[in-house]
Amino acid sequence: MKVIETAVAVACLLGCGNSSLLASDTLTVRHIRSFGEQGQNVGQFKFPLGMIVDSRDRRIIADAQNNRSQICAEFGNCQAFGRRGRGPGNFRNPHGVAVDAQDRIYTVETHTNRVQIFSSNGDLLGGFGEWGSCLGCFNLPGDVTIDNRGRILVADERNYRVQTCTQEGVCTAFGSKGTLPGAFNWPRAIVVDTADRIFVADRFNGRVQICNDQGICSVMGSEGSEVGQFDGPVELDLNLEGSLVVADRENHRVQVCGLQGDCRAFGSFGTGPGQFNHPLGVAVDSKGRIFVADSDNHRIQLFEVVEPAGINPGHAGAWFNPETPGQGQLIDVEAEGKFLFMSWFTFTEAAAENPNEQHWFTAQGTYSDNTADLVVYESLGGRFDDPQAISTEPVGTATLSFSDCGNGRLAYVIDSWGLQGSFPLLRAIPGTENVCEKLNGNFTGSLQPNDGRDGAWYDENTPGQGFLIDAHANPEGEDFIFVAWFTYGGDSDSGQRWLTAQGPLVDSAADIVVYETLGGRFDDPQTSETRAVGMMTIDFMDCSNALLSYSISDEELAGMINIKRAIPGTEVLCQQITGSE
């Protein structure tokens, strides 16, 4: 099985796919499994909404447009109760669900404006409520929870209030429509902690409010897309540490926040594992795992929280931001000195005098745990495969963080361009995280010699130029190699040029196609164009030396060069794998 099916896919290699929000300001999670799909059978869903976990770790799920609730074991073995209707025990668009200390199930429905109470098996026990604004009446109730005294609290959305009710439906209320603390604009979800603090998802105010019984509230967050901000918070739960878990609907993610508003997030828009299309329900089980009702994908996803992986030599290789086609980062790691080197091939920015031209940076610095603090450099004045001296100057800073062996985040400040930002990073070649996982003790397979080729290589006769290599020893088929060549001699104003090459790696040698990618824009999704421009042959003689030949056909350039490791010590992993010195 080839890692990349066609050579022309080089642009997609570093520019296609979907991202997950995972880095230093995010929660590090591992996707365990998903269950469910759109449908009407038991175990299928149609827009699942509210969700809760009972004392037996069963998931009780409001299956909204199937007009029922489902009780599901961890692996999706479900039973359903209720059907479409307004009579007792039936449902019209159930939204919120809760359980009490006896595992009795409480539901609210937006179309019937009532609370219903069921046994742990789904047998109707009672209920109360009707449409209106009186106490004990509701107008689109969005959620329900049970406090430490067994009282029923209801997020009464279109009455812009919270009601606290007895089992018989005798209620008190606080709240009104507005933007001040204690006022709401569609209170959508509600949960109570062990200290009787009431957390309310104030949906269209883009915030969470923390209230007491008297309706005195403080505010967490504001409307927006940054971590700690919310765009349509619609469901809440508490984790084992007492932090708030928030389904951040329009941001297509989940946030976990401390009481001071210090949040971390995971997820992004999409259909893959760890991606969401309007997450509308969250629940935490007795193991601290997080279940997410991924509503518009009609499924439930399960995650466990994990500690971020520390940087190791297995993080070397090619990485990319899925939102910026044809651009990428290549990394080399030297473990003994905790040194990290990064090359970044990109384009000039939109406001540049000559926008959309090829451009590249390098960055280097030391790392601790899962984070590297780097200085960004720009090198100018060189000549293609020529010893002409260059000028290298610092132009900014960057912070590179990894949440695991396949996900990271790069935050940058380019002072010389007046730009700053951040974006997620994913592995460019699927499967290349095996080395990192092996060093972390999570991969039981054997490493092969080509697993040790990754990193920075250079010709000592051409200062300021070099090659960054990512080799993948693929146990299911051909080994694969990707090479980024940072050089000079293009038509750009800076004189910088970068090329890429990719293809099969047979034993220790590769004959691969060279590509040039043009027309992109710095940290921008503008589409670039990639075309084949030549051939490259690379033959690794040992862990530190290789012979590389090239021909750039349309420019009649050809040559042969000896390349070696750019960073002393990065050959150690290769030597350990091959048993060489």
Q: pLDDT-derived band of residue 154, with 50, 70 and 90 as boundaries?
A: very high
Q: Considering the chain, what percentage of its residues have pLDDT values greater than 70?
A: 94
Q: pLDDT-derived band of residue 415, with 50, 70 and 90 as boundaries?
A: very high
Q: Does the pLDDT of residue 114 top 90, yes or no? A: yes
Closest CA to 536 of 558, 554, 564: 558
Q: Does the pLDDT of residue 10 top 50, yes or no? A: no
**The Cα angle at residue 107 between residues 105 and 111, in degrees rounded to 5:** 160
Closest CA to 263 of 243, 278, 234: 243
* Tokens matching residue 496: 């910088």
- Alpha-carbon gap, residue 91 to 82, rounded angstroms: 6
Q: What is the DSSP string of 234-263?
A: EEEEE-TTS-EEEEEGGGTEEEEE-TTS-E
- The tens digit of pLDDT for each residue in 260-277 reads 889 999 998 999 888 999
Q: What is the mean pLDDT of residues 403-420?
A: 91
Task: Please measure the distance between the N-terminal and C-terminal CA atoms of the chain and give it in whole angstroms.
Answer: 32
The pairing of strands 391-402 and 328-334 is unpaired
Closest CA to 49 of 31, 65, 35: 65
Map tokens 């971020």 to a residue: 308
Q: Does the pLDDT of residue 193 top 80, yes or no? A: yes
The pairing of strands 94-99 and 105-109 is antiparallel
* Tokens matching residue 216: 């005195």
Averaged pLDDT of the chain: 90
- The tens digit of pLDDT for each residue in 465-511 reads 999 999 988 867 789 999 999 999 855 566 899 999 999 999 999 99
> Any long-range contacts for 202-207 (C-beta under 8 Å, 24+ apart)?
202/233, 203/142, 203/157, 203/232, 203/233, 203/234, 204/232, 205/179, 206/230, 206/231, 206/232, 206/233, 207/233
Q: What is the pTM of this model?
A: 0.64
- Alpha-carbon gap, residue 380 to 389, rounded angstroms: 9
Report residue 273 CA to chain centroid gap.
10
Q: Among 248-252, 523-527, 545-549, which stretch is predicted with the lowest mean pLDDT?
A: 523-527
DSSP lists the bridge partners of residue 267 as none
Backbone angles phi, psi at 179, to 5 degrees: -115, -10
User: Where in 20-67 does DSSP place strands (E)?
Assistant: 29-35, 48-53, 59-63
Q: pLDDT-derived band of residue 565, with 50, 70 and 90 as boundaries?
A: very high
Question: Mind spelling out the 3-state secondary structure of 535-573?
Answer: EEEEEECCCCEEEEEEEEHHHCEEEEEEEEECCCCCCHH
**The Cα angle at residue 498 between residues 493 and 503, in degrees rounded to 5:** 160
Q: What is the mean pLDDT of residues 242-261?
A: 95
* Tokens matching residue 558: 């050809």
Q: Among 37-41, 352-356, 536-540, 567-571, which stretch is predicted with the lowest mean pLDDT?
A: 352-356
- Alpha-carbon gap, residue 91 to 113, rounded angstroms: 10
- The tens digit of pLDDT for each residue in 370-384 reads 999 999 999 998 888
Q: Considering the chain, what percentage of its residues have pLDDT values greater than 90?
A: 76
Say what the pLDDT of residue 20 is. Answer: 35
